[in-house]
Amino acid sequence: MLWGSNARAAHPIFFHHVLKAIRKGAKLAVVDPRQTASAQFADLWLGLNVGSDIALSHTVAREIIVSGLANQAFIENSTSGFEAYRDCVMEWTLDRGETVTGIPAASIRELAHTYARADRAILCWTLGITEHHNAVDNVVALINLALLTGHVGRYGSGLNPLRGQNNVQGGGDMGAIPNKLPGFQDIETDALARARFEAAWGVPIVPKAGWHLTQMFDAMEHGTLRALYVIGENPASSEADVTRAQHLLGSRDTLIVQDIFMTRTAELAHVVFPASVSAFETEGTVTNSERRVQRVRKALDPPGNARDDIWIITELAKRLGAAWPLATAEMAWDELRSLSPMHRGMSYARIEALGGLQWPCPDETHPGEKFLHARLWEKDPEKRGRLAPFSPVVDDPPVDKISDEFPLRLTTGRKLDSYNTGVQTRAFASPLREGEAIEISPAEARSLGVRDDERVRVISRRGQVVAKVRIDPGLRSGLVFMTFHFPEEVETNLLTIDATDPRSGTAEFKAAAVRIERLDAQAAVS
């Protein structure tokens, strides 16, 4: 099941594996407001209202429960909090689900029964779930479904957030999370881990979680965050409500940007460190979506004065008076292995020989773990460990409401040949690239009286842009779509809302309310 994921376009090689399974008889369900390329391969596609994921999930859950399809053995053995969860979903009848999600009850029922009856089922999601103001609740709602059916902790079953960037998993692994040390060791609660790091680094580790991105922007707004060191990010283009983001970034006391491009953010910086392309110009590791730690290698010399990240950081330390020795990537990695138990068994030699290793890999005889949470199936409470908790969550529609003034739901996403804000993909001449456009349904085009390629004004409560129209029969009436691959052409994030999930710090890129105006109509008015 792909929920809020258009893997055909965003994760093409992962989708090859899906296609192989389909050819062997696997069923594919896709939940997505748009009838995407992925949806066109699906046995069942559900085009829900943007932001009604919890409603759909709860309706599916109730249908599974009342049909007697819940995995009672797993629920009793391996989970906690089922009663509260059941009470919370019980009000989500098929009829109510249909009203809120826009999907016919019969199809919701079909999805529920298909998922629950499957021998094995994998539920994958991406930004369609997480780019919402209630992202964590959305994720939890999906996890609940897996717990309800026992589709977790077994080979061929499970939950999988498909990572959008080659090392977003690795970033988390390495502790680029406000409350974690490398190896997901909690900075506030894990005193043993802190002690290990203190011993290795010779400095005290403050047991206090840091800020995530949104909190940083809030702190900038409140003046408590005045200096910023940005490595390989372009928040001046990628943040929702970029007007605000650019203003805050541009008004810091110190802004350092370390990047391979002169990005919008770098243009605002006081100091720019030219960096190297990690995948092509440096040695190191990345971790992919399946927790596989893989080696990147230096194939090219970086141009001009660009240096690799280790060199820059070591040099910075030196200039600040800390005489860190210049380490190789492998030395840095071996230090990590000494501090992060789940990485301990992954020597460069083994990663090389085995073509990558999946964590956890506690020692050098361990083959790496194919899938997680198998412990939940253990009968022995000792081996089973902490029960997996059901988490009752509440449906909470998008913040930016549809109204007469802003009658269209704008959702954003990605294209096959482009990547995020386009700084990397702009450089190659993709024959597929058509530039930014506001994609609308044929019905919308008729009622607005616009044609393909006609330029129109798109207006939200926060800003407006001019973009050309592209008619997409995969969209339904009322739903419009843009990417943000071409900010230099059309700054889509002028339209999006920065309503943000307080826990994940992700903004609601997936749901803005807009209206479309014809340029000539406007001219006629003014």
**What residues between 135 and 154 interact with another protein by CB under 8 A?**
153-154
Of 57-65, 248-256, 470-478, 488-496, which part binds another protein (CB under 8 A)? 470-478
C-alpha–C-alpha distance, residues 185 and 54, integer Å: 30
DSSP 1-55: -EES--HHHHSHHHHHHHHHHHHTT---EEE-SS--TTGGG-SEEE-PPTT-HHH
68, 204, 321, 431: which one contacts another protein (CB under 8 A)? 431
Among all chains, which residue has been given the structure tokens 């506001």?
438
- Least Å distance, CB 188 to another protein, is 28
Closest CB to another protein among residues 225, 416:
416
Question: Does the protein bind another protein through residue 296 (CB under 8 A)?
Answer: yes
Closest CB to another protein among residues 133, 307:
307
The count of residues interacting with another protein (CB under 8 A) is 98
96, 113, 252, 476: which one contacts another protein (CB under 8 A)? 476
Question: Does the protein bind another protein through residue 39 (CB under 8 A)?
Answer: yes
Closest CB to another protein among residues 187, 448:
448
End-to-end CA, the chain: 50
- Least Å distance, CB 497 to another protein, is 24
Beta bridge partner(s), residue 351: none
Closest CB to another protein among residues 158, 235:
158
Question: Does the protein bind another protein through residue 118 (CB under 8 A)?
Answer: no
C-alpha–C-alpha distance, residues 505 and 501, integer Å: 5
- Least Å distance, CB 47 to another protein, is 5
* Residues 481-520, interacting with another protein (CB under 8 A): none
Which residues are within 8 A (CB) of 84 and not within 5 positions of it... i.e. 6 or more apart? Answer: 390, 392
Other beta carbons within 10 Å of 77: 16
- Least Å distance, CB 405 to another protein, is 23
What binding mask, one character per residue, do residues 195-234 give for another protein by CB under 8 A, x or -? ----------------------------------------
What binding mask, one character per residue, do residues 87-106 give for another protein by CB under 8 A, x or -? ---------------xxx--
* Residues 341-360, interacting with another protein (CB under 8 A): 355-356
- Least Å distance, CB 486 to another protein, is 15
* Residues 240-279, interacting with another protein (CB under 8 A): 260-262, 274, 277-279
Closest CB to another protein among residues 138, 441:
441
C-alpha–C-alpha distance, residues 76 and 376, integer Å: 11
CB-CB contact of 228 with 254 (8 Å): yes
- Least Å distance, CB 209 to another protein, is 25
| Structure-token pair, residue 512 | 């803005």
Of 13-21, 136-144, 319-327, 336-344, which part binds another protein (CB under 8 A)? 13-21
233, 290, 454, 517: which one contacts another protein (CB under 8 A)? 290
CB-CB contact of 388 with 150 (8 Å): no
430 DSSP assignment:
-
Q: Helix or strand or coil: residue 391?
A: coil
342 DSSP assignment:
G
Which residues are within 8 A (CB) of 54 and not within 5 positions of it... i.e. 6 or more apart? Answer: 134, 137, 138, 141, 393, 394, 395, 396
Which residues are within 8 A (CB) of 275 and not within 5 positions of it... i.e. 6 or more apart? Answer: 231, 232, 258, 259, 260, 306, 307, 308, 309, 312
CB-CB contact of 359 with 368 (8 Å): yes
168, 177, 209, 312: which one contacts another protein (CB under 8 A)? 168
* Residues 371-430, interacting with another protein (CB under 8 A): 374-375, 377-379, 416-417, 419, 423-430
Which residues are within 8 A (CB) of 302 and not within 5 positions of it... i.e. 6 or more apart? Answer: 274, 276, 277, 281, 308
Of 30-38, 83-91, 136-144, 213-221, which part binds another protein (CB under 8 A)? 30-38
57, 157, 214, 493: which one contacts another protein (CB under 8 A)? 157
